[in-house]
Amino acid sequence: MQVWPGQPYPLGATYDGAGTNFAVFSEVAERVELCLLEDDGSETAVELRENDAFVRHAYLPGVMPGQRYGFRVHGPYDPRAGHRCNSSKLLLDPYAKAMSGAIDWDEAVYGYRFGQPDSRNNLDSAPHTMTSVVVNPYFDWGNDRPPNPAYHHTVIYEAHVKGLTMLHPDLPREIRGTYAALAHPAVIDHLVELGVTTLELMPVHQFVHDHRLVDEGLANYWGYNTIGFFAPHGAYSSLGDRGQQVQEFKTAVKALHEADMEVILDVVYNHTAEGSHLGPTLSFRGLDNGSYYRLAEDARYYEDTTGTGNSLLMRSPHVLQLIMDSLRYWVTEMHVDGFRFDLAATLARQFHEVDRLSSFFDLVQQDPVVSQVKLIAEPWDVGQGGYQVGNFPPLWTEWNGKYRDTVRDLWRGEPATLAEFGSRLTGSSDLYQGDGRRPLASINFVTCHDGFTLRDLVSYNDKHNEDNGEGNRDGEGFNRSWNCGAEGGTDDEEIMALRTRQMRNFIATLMLSQGVPMLSHGDEFARTQHGNNNAYCQDNELSWVPWPKEDEEDTLAAEIHEFTRKMVWLRRDHPVLRRRRFFHGRPVAGTHDDLSDISWFTPEGEEMTEQDWQAAQARALTVFLNGNAISEPDSRGGRVTDDSFLMMFNAHYEPLEFVVPVDHGREWRFVVDTARPKGAAGDDTAKVRAGDRLPVTDRSVVVLQRPA
């Protein structure tokens, strides 16, 4: 076999049409072997003799796409000093563009167990672990362009590749649960009709199923256990895992882009699947443990702010390079449009504390590729000081956990929530205005993959996670949920009607709030997980979206679906519901009326006072949005105007009469009433006039509209 010196950059395996360049970093290694694997189990080892800046490299002519490979690192094995090299372990390439196979947990993949070297430590792991794969980078993107909807036009739909598509009746069985299913017209048409602009995919980086879960017949379904930051998860490919997953993922992105829908990835750069000091040696640990991981004072152990056993070392230049190279790769080569960063507070821990000025954010800010896509933080982790909602740099948007909590509290009847609800409804200026950000920094959500579904939020007071095998100890115990009078399923028609109304209330509130709304997949069909609020290990029908059949048009699923679609399009059609800037609370110069851009009223139609806001039992208010005062120029240099709206929120446990405020419009029409069947407003020709008294059902929302 010919072996040429090759190049130290780019890292990983790079095919150029005639052969493949291999490059891997390890500062601690004494010797590194590249191992080429054949289907018969044989292995050809090639020592990487070239070494530039601790990058070992070689070019092998004739090595083609589909070739499986790994590395064996010869170096110190001294856990007390933080070193865990072991040439018995066939290691995955951190820069592998595809990975093949799965881990056989019954065999030798561990490196250090229970404080002592594993008794199987020197057994060859090659037959029992995953392998890296050389991929063909060439793909016909045609005229593909990023849809790039502005944030104020964005509606995010969080989905799981398998969970969204596994039960879809119109998909061929052989592609269900795969990237190919995402590209199918049946899925794309649903998202387009719903009004979604942005598909946010739960982890598709190659991940590993935990040993404990496999032993218990479960799986790491959600995928927050990454081992390959460049490789699309092989099990989501309908064609194979020898590089086909790359082509299939690209095909899905291209099809979604053709439908004018962008793709955002949920990424997990805070830890890896190698877990704690008791975990397996798969890649980073065996290459250079101390360069990749945050080690404790006793270097045998890891510091962990993620709850997974380890945290990546965010002050290491090689970790930072890995993350930035990965992000750029997914944008430039895979054409994704942005990222949602799991447990993003860990990325800001350059040392121990969370630091918004850490090196990671500096690198993102100046990067000409990554800085131009959507960047969404999950602004917390499980470490001390990890709750950082509102504290990320101006380039970033954030999952607004305070929005979720406040909206849930209002609709379950918690006292003294009205003032904070007003802030959350209008874009959370208390969190984002101080550093120059806008309402669009707030990613608003009521539910997501983690926690109750929308239907379970109104059906359960307590979590029911027994199927997870942890004695119901896992999952959040405080969900801010309310079962409306019965725990779980019920035949009580009044309770069922209230639950349906509450679901409409949450959907309506989400779409009437300033900021960027995010829906969780299946909530538009009133999907239930039967009270399981931590279904991370349930790769089955409990977690999969139950698509309604065409002959089930009168079901709850069809009703909630239609209401969700209506509310999404109401928001998309009206700029006043998705402003780019915060409200001023006063008239806007240059408009043709002298009304404030926003006004707040009690149910009696009187302007809210400080005492009204702070009243412990106050759970109702009217909000006026002035469509003539959007305060933004249009594309032709004029001023954007819109219809005006009155939004009446009654979270009280009894019906109330709302007085239509005077001097804010003489005549209005109903557009939403969550207390009516399907949330319809009734007779669209019926008019409401200033000073009229409207009965508003307990726990409901009424929206009135006045043409511009």
The set of catalytic residues is 342, 378
Residues 75/31, Cβ–Cβ less than 8 Å: yes
For 451, other C-beta atoms within 10 Å of its C-beta total: 24
* Nearest alpha carbon to residue 483 among 510, 456, 464, 519: 456
For 647, other C-beta atoms within 10 Å of its C-beta total: 19
Residues 576/583, Cβ–Cβ less than 8 Å: no
Residue that is written with structure tokens 């299939």 in the block? 248
Residues 705/697, Cβ–Cβ less than 8 Å: no
Tokens of 595: 């009304």
* Structure-derived torsion over alpha carbons of residues 102, 103, 104, 107, reported in degrees to the nearest 10: 150
Strand partners of residue 200: 158, 264
Give the orientation angle of helix 556-573 with respect to helix 185-194, to 10 degrees: 60
Q: Distance of CA 580 to CAs 15, 156, 340, 652, Å? A: 45, 17, 21, 31
For 290, other C-beta atoms within 10 Å of its C-beta total: 17
Tell me the C-alpha distance between 510 and 519, whole Å: 9
Tell me the C-alpha distance between 652 and 388, whole Å: 32
Residues 168/240, Cβ–Cβ less than 8 Å: no
Tokens of 332: 């430039």
Would you call 530 exposed, middle or buried from its count of C-beta atoms within 10 A (0-12, 13-18, 19+)?
A: middle
544: alpha, beta or left, given left = phi > 0 and alpha = psi -120 to 50? beta
Q: Would you give the DSSP letter of residue 27?
A: S
Q: Which amino acid is at 11?
A: L
* Nearest alpha carbon to residue 392 among 428, 419, 424, 421: 428
Rounded CA Rg of the chain: 27
For 50, other C-beta atoms within 10 Å of its C-beta total: 17
Residues 11/23, Cβ–Cβ less than 8 Å: yes
Residues 63/135, Cβ–Cβ less than 8 Å: no
Sort strands 516-520 and 156-159 into parallel, antiparallel or unpaired. Answer: parallel
